[in-house]
Amino acid sequence: MGNDPPDFWDHLDQLVADAKLVIDRPAGSRHPRYPEFVYPLDYGYLEGTVSPDGGGIDVWVGSLTEKSVTAALACVDLRKRDAEVKILLGCTQEEARRILGFHNTGVQAAILIFRPLR
C-alpha cells in the first residue's frame, strides 16, 4: 500500500539502528542531581540524537536477549518543564511497568505505550 503513513515503530527501530547506545546510568546507580532516584535498569541515550533537554534520546534497556524496541514512554516533568519520549529496548512487560513507576513520581508523569505485536 503505497499511501500508508510511515510507521512510528519502524522509525524508532531506525533511530536505534543508526546510533550508538551509551549506558551512562547502570542499574542500581543513583541520579546525579536527585540521589533518591535509583535506576531499576540500565539507562542511557542514543549518541548523535537530540531530545528536548538537549541531550540524546533517552533509552531504557531490559533483560530480553533481543534489544529491539519493545515500548515507548511519553513523559512530562514539571520541575524541568519539559516533555519527551523515552525508548525501551528489550524490556519485559514487568520491566516496562517498573520503568513507568520510576517516572510516575512527584513532579513527573508518564504513560507507557507497548509496541503492538505483528
pTM: 0.91
Chain Cα centroid distance, residue 33: 19
pLDDT at 78 > cutoff 50: yes
pLDDT for residue 3: 54
Cell of 100: 513507568
pLDDT in tens, 6-39: 699 999 999 999 999 999 999 999 999 889 889 9
